[in-house]
Amino acid sequence: MAITASLVKELRERTGAGMMECKKALVETNGDIDAAIEQMRKSGQAKAAKKAGRIAAEGVIVISFSEDCGQAAMVEVNCETDFVAKDDNFTSFAKAVAERVLAGGADDVAGLMELPLHEGEDTTVNQAREALVSKLGENMNVRRFSRIHASSGKLSSYQHGSRIGVVLELDGGDEALGKDLAMHIAATNPICLSAEQMPQDLLDKERDIVTAQAKESGKPDEIVAKMVDGRMRKYLAENTLLGQAFVKDPDTTVDKLLKSNASSIIQYTRFEVGEGIEKKQENFAEEVLAQAKM
């Protein structure tokens, strides 16, 4: 079968691959475009596997809401460079993943990857990811997601560009207050909502540190104990949402702001691109020196 330019064009549009790759696949499958797509997917999987070991610490946070705003989905999709994070193909994929999460059907990332990316289609989230890896030439993955259901309040959100996302459920107050509080959480990244929720291991570690610092003063034990208690109160105020000074009015705390509006925060979730991922630090001078010694 003759491999026409229109056939190559159609395959390029359906796969996003290069012209020569498309022509080669069509020649090998005697012009069967579906067989060519299947073959290129297999090839894409091989390429994706080779790139899977590369650190993907860039990417985007995407938030998707249901029509009645009673449910939201937030996802982090990673890639290797900020350049690809801004690519329309990558951002479209991330938005589709968020919509897939919102629709339900998966409790974890492994389950999500096996679901169809779009309802009524056969291509899974993972197959779409592998095709995108082949097209854009970078490792990428769906790192995590959260599906947030409103229990008794209303959901609000805030996104700082595409790198930080927050969804919170507010009981009472209005839309403006919800957005302000979500923005505050994005800016300050509190460890938890209240002092009662602070993990004990973090409290113990911080108390050990401030106790050692206080003892350096050489003051009597009773004074050291008071210094430690004061510093622990400050630690809790700075790292719990309710204890923090509100970013738009540092003279009041978030707790006081909520009480003045007869409202309360039921839950919140905050994602930031790449948090917790150790990026490889390239030292090209050391690399050249090592090669010179070989």
Is 293 or 101 the better-scoring residue by pLDDT?
101
Identify the pLDDT of residue 287.
47
Q: List, for residues 177-230, the tens digit of each pLDDT value.
A: 999 999 999 999 999 999 999 999 999 999 999 999 999 889 999 999 999 999
Please state whether 165 falls in left (phi above 0), alpha (psi between -120 and 50) or beta: beta
Q: Which CATH architecture has domain 5-51?
A: Orthogonal Bundle (1.10)
Identify the pLDDT of residue 10.
80
Which pLDDT band holds residue 282 (cuts at 50, 70, 90)?
A: very low
Mean of the pLDDT values across residues 84-102? 96
Identify the pLDDT of residue 118.
93
pTM for the model: 0.76
**Residue 40: count of CB within 10 angstroms of its CB:** 23
CB 144 within 8 A of CB 62: no
Identify the pLDDT of residue 40.
73
Residue keyed to tokens 């790139």: 51
Measured N-to-C along each axis, helices 88-103 and 125-136 cross at an angle, to the nearest 10 degrees, of 170
Strands 264-272 and 164-171: antiparallel
Estimate to the nearest angstrom the gap between the alpha carbon of 132 and the chain centroid.
18
Query: String of b and e for 253-269 (b: at least 16 CB within 10 Å)?
Result: bbbebbeeeebbbbebb
Please state whether 137 falls in left (phi above 0), alpha (psi between -120 and 50) or beta: left
CA angle 215, 221, 226 (to 5 degrees): 85
Q: Does 126 score more than 70 pLDDT? A: yes
Length of the chain: 294
Rg (CA), the chain: 25
Q: List, for residues 146-172, the tens digit of each pLDDT value.
A: 999 999 999 999 999 999 999 999 999
Mean of the pLDDT values across residues 75-91? 95
Query: String of b and e for 63-78 (b: at least 16 CB within 10 Å)?
Result: bbbeeeeebbbbbbbb
Identify the pLDDT of residue 47.
57
The Cα 137–Cα 77 span in angstroms is 16
Kindly state the percentage of the chain with pLDDT values over 90: 66
Can you give the residue ranges of every domain in the chain?
A: 5-51, 56-149, 195-261
Closest to 132 (Cα-Cα) out of 79, 81, 53, 57: 79
Which pLDDT band holds residue 294 (cuts at 50, 70, 90)?
A: very low
Identify the pLDDT of residue 1.
73
Q: List, for residues 21-76, the tens digit of each pLDDT value.
A: 788 889 999 998 888 877 776 666 445 555 666 767 899 999 999 978 799 999 99
Cα–Cα distances in angstroms (integers) from residue 53 to residues 42, 139, 278, in the given order: 18, 8, 13
The Cα 268–Cα 284 span in angstroms is 42
Identify the pLDDT of residue 278.
62
Q: List, for residues 248-267, the tens digit of each pLDDT value.
A: 999 999 999 999 999 999 99
Paired residues of 154 in beta bridges: 170
Tokens matching residue 183: 């923005």
**CATH class (in words) of the domain with range 56-149:** alpha beta
Closest to 162 (Cα-Cα) out of 79, 57, 247, 91: 91
Cα–Cα distances in angstroms (integers) from residue 237 to residues 73, 168, 233, 234, 254, in the given order: 30, 20, 6, 5, 10
SS3 at position 121: coil
